Amino acid sequence: MSKDILKKLGMPPFKPLPGLHKGLSQTIASFYFPYNPFINNSKSHTVTLPDGDKIVLLENRPKVWVPSQRIILLVHGLTGSHLSKYFIRATKFFTQHGYVVMRMNLRGCGLGRGLARHLYHSGRSEDTREILKWLAREYPYSPVTQIGFSLGANITLKMAGEDGDSQSGKLDSVIAVSPPLDLEASVKLLMKKQNRIFNDFFVKGLLGDIAKLHQTFPDLPKLDLPPISTVYQFDDLYTAPRSGFQDAHDYYTRCSSAQFIKTITLPTLILYAKDDPVISRRQFLKLPQKDNLDTILTKHGGHVAWLGKTDKCCHYRWMDRVILKWVQCHDKQHDN
């Protein structure tokens, strides 16, 4: 199936750069690899959620755009923000090809730090739903493609499945890059010795985030946690009880996006590498066969990475081009 989709998109199969054939090396190298374009003329929007928390969007426009053209809504991953490198690259890439891009900061992230008392987490589909409603009010003639990365991909699939035939705003397509279809299995994958570098990175970021949150809102319950060394412990001791779940298992069970895919009716692309050191592959072997679902599963590529090359030895970000090509293809079908 992956080959057929890539052929339709005019994309070659993924070939990793020399020396980057393992998911671990792909993921780490992707963070440090050159090409971090500068983007300017960003316009910020602050959106108030029903519970009073606020979220900040960053808007970037191409040189020429009319209100009936497509908007790309980007949703970042764990401990990310509007400044995440894949966000910056995608923004540059899509605006160069004529799309307005909205970079969404999840609750308390990026420019939204200090504007939200509540937490973002893998199941906060109500937040992206509210942003889509806001976009529909501000840009009523523009269809929207929502692209989620990692945790943001889980939120994206969950929301689309929950909405079924009644999609929010002007959303007409979704893309999920490296989605944790099984949250518990993915978090446990992080606990393996070879992947602890990612677990430690996330734990450090999460603990730093909540320390600043409690400093900003001193009326919140006192932050009194035992030593935490894994994402699972963090979710069990903090994310779950603060977000209305019994424990980490309850949180993961109720929010894992695999269970929502069968009810998604919109055109959907799922992109995943089988050597992803962060996301469990188990549920990807059970994806349903649906006319509206395109799945591209590659042997190599790591987590939100895919550092590859063409047959002409031109190095490039393969992932960026796949998602652009898919959106362009959908756009043509939408216009017809």
Question: Is there a contact between 89 and 82 (Cβ–Cβ < 8 Å)?
Answer: no
Q: What is the spatial distance between Cα 156 and Cα 196, in angstroms, rounded to a whole number?
A: 26
- Per the listing, tokens 């796949």 go with 322
Q: How confident is the model at residue 310 (pLDDT cuts 50, 70, 90)?
A: low
Looking at residue 316, its pLDDT comes to: 79
pLDDT by residue (tens digit) across 131-151? 999 999 999 999 999 999 999
Q: Which fold has domain 2-182+258-335?
A: Rossmann fold (3.40.50)
Whether the pLDDT of residue 335 is over 70: the answer is no
Instruction: List, in sequence order, every residue forming a beta bridge with 55; answer none if it has no partner.
Output: 47
Q: Which letter does DSSP use for residue 16 in this model?
A: B
Identify the three-state secondary structure at position 84.
coil
Whether the pLDDT of residue 313 is over 50: the answer is no
Mean pLDDT of 214-237: 95
Domain boundaries, the chain: 2-182+258-335
Instruction: List, in sequence order, every residue forming a beta bridge with 102; answer none if it has no partner.
Output: 59, 73
Q: How confident is the model at residue 33 (pLDDT cuts 50, 70, 90)?
A: confident
Mean pLDDT of 242-263: 98
Q: How confident is the model at residue 312 (pLDDT cuts 50, 70, 90)?
A: low
Identify the three-state secondary structure at position 72.
strand
Question: Is there a contact between 150 and 121 (Cβ–Cβ < 8 Å)?
Answer: no
Q: What is the spatial distance between Cα 278 and Cα 198, in angstroms, rounded to a whole number?
A: 7
pLDDT by residue (tens digit) across 314-326? 457 999 999 999 9
